[in-house]
Amino acid sequence: MKRIVRISVAAVLVVAAVLLGGSFYMLSYSLRPDRVMAEKNVDSYKYMYEEYPFLEPWVDSLTRAGALRDTTICDPDGLRLHAIYAAAPRPTDRTAVIVHGYTDNAVRMLMIGYLYNHDLGYNILLPDLHYHGRSEGRAIRMGWLDRLDVLRWMDVANELFGGHTQMVVHGISMGAATTMMVSGEEQRPYVKCFVEDCGYTSVWDEFRKELKEQFSLPAFPLLHAASRLCDLKYGWNFREASALGQVAKCRLPMLFIHGDADDYVPTWMVYPLYEAKPGEKELWVVPGAAHAMSYRDNPEEYTRRVGEFVGRYIGTQGGEDDGAGA
């Protein structure tokens, strides 16, 4: 009998050790992919100029004019967070805060910066989220705690561009989930609408999908254990990090965009998100577009649809027209 008890205890300890080790590995794999992020940071401009050739002359012109600038803030823990920003070609209160995706950075969202600044004539601010780009941090936060930083960046953008802006927040992928998480918080009067492009319903849903597809593992018990470990180590868990829960509290207009060939954040996720959102909203499911490729594959239609949507809620200032800069 004692031997059976000893064997049972040993088995439980082995299982617990394996589960704990797996949880640490999952957090490191998903929230601290340092090699991937370092490689992306090094070649961000090169990559963007190859993918979007029109960006290089635009960025060069902003740089020569001293118009593309850096700014920093400190979060409540004293960590330095970085962003880039540029004023519109002509004075305006119309402003876009643009939020990047998983393991990306502000530079890798410059195509959306171009859309707003060059094509629509907006002021733009693009933050590096916690642990991304030139911002400090301990690990990726998948949008949940990032929503609080983005709210701070929205205040910064409002002050940088005159203190009385009309603002849209636009995110892609994890940045879209962040945008939806932001949307469920109380908003300043200057915030007028949101655009989310291929965001996930929740971190739990996205990680469960990745566990199954990459490792052929069920959610139980590893995802439960890793979520608890994330809470202990970083102060948030996978279940509470829910864009679905936050978008249900959003009272401002939102445009939902998702490619119908997206298998990373699967297309089905956009439908419960859209249904959960009360009030004014619009959905564009983009034929043939893979994950985060809706703009790259359809730049003219993407610009037209975004411009028309945000234009309903962000008016011109002082009677100026909607034309963009050269």
What are 204-249's pLDDT values in tens digits? Answer: 999 999 999 999 999 999 999 999 999 999 999 999 999 999 999 9
Radius of gyration of the chain (CA): 21
What pLDDT score was predicted for residue 19? Answer: 66
Highest-pLDDT range among 211-225, 278-292, 310-324: 278-292
Q: At residue 322, does pLDDT exceed 60?
A: no
Position 24 scores a pLDDT of: 86
8 Å CB contact between 264 and 237: no
pLDDT for res 17: 61
For residue 282, pLDDT over 80 is answered with yes
What is the rounded average pLDDT for all residues in the chain?
93
Q: Are 150 and 81 in contact (CB under 8 A)?
A: no
Which residues touch 31 (CB under 8 Å, ≥6 apart)?
139, 140, 141, 142, 230, 234
What's residue 12's pLDDT?
40
Answer yes or no: is pLDDT of 64 > 80.
Answer: yes
Q: Please report how many Cα atoms fall inside a 13 Å half-sphere around the Cα of residue 323, on the Cβ side.
A: 6
* pLDDT at 11 (0 to 100): 44
2 falls in which pLDDT band (50, 70, 90)?
A: low
Q: What pLDDT, on a 0 to 100 scale, did the predictor assign at position 10?
A: 43
The rounded distance, in Å, linking the Cα atoms of 157 and 168 is 11
Kindly provide the b/e burial profile for residues 238-275, where b requires at least 16 CB atoms within 10 angstroms of the residue's own CB: beebbbbbbbbebebbbbbbbbeebebbbbebbeebbe
Question: Taking residues 95-120, what's their average pLDDT?
Answer: 98
Helix (H) or strand (E) holding 242: none
Residue 16 has pLDDT above 70, yes or no: no
Q: What is the model's pLDDT at position 275?
A: 98
pLDDT, mean of residues 186-199: 98
Q: Which helix (H) or strand (E) holds 228?
A: helix 222-234
Global confidence as pTM: 0.94
CA distance 97 to 156: 10
Percentage of the chain lying above the pLDDT 90 cut: 89
pLDDT reading at 18 higher than 80: no
Average pLDDT over residues 146-152: 98
Q: Residue 317: its pLDDT value, please?
A: 59
Residue 290: per-residue pLDDT: 98
Per-residue pLDDT at 147: 98
CA distance 3 to 110: 65
All domains of the chain, ordered by start, with CATH? Answer: 1-31+203-237 (no CATH), 41-202+241-311 (3.40.50.1820)
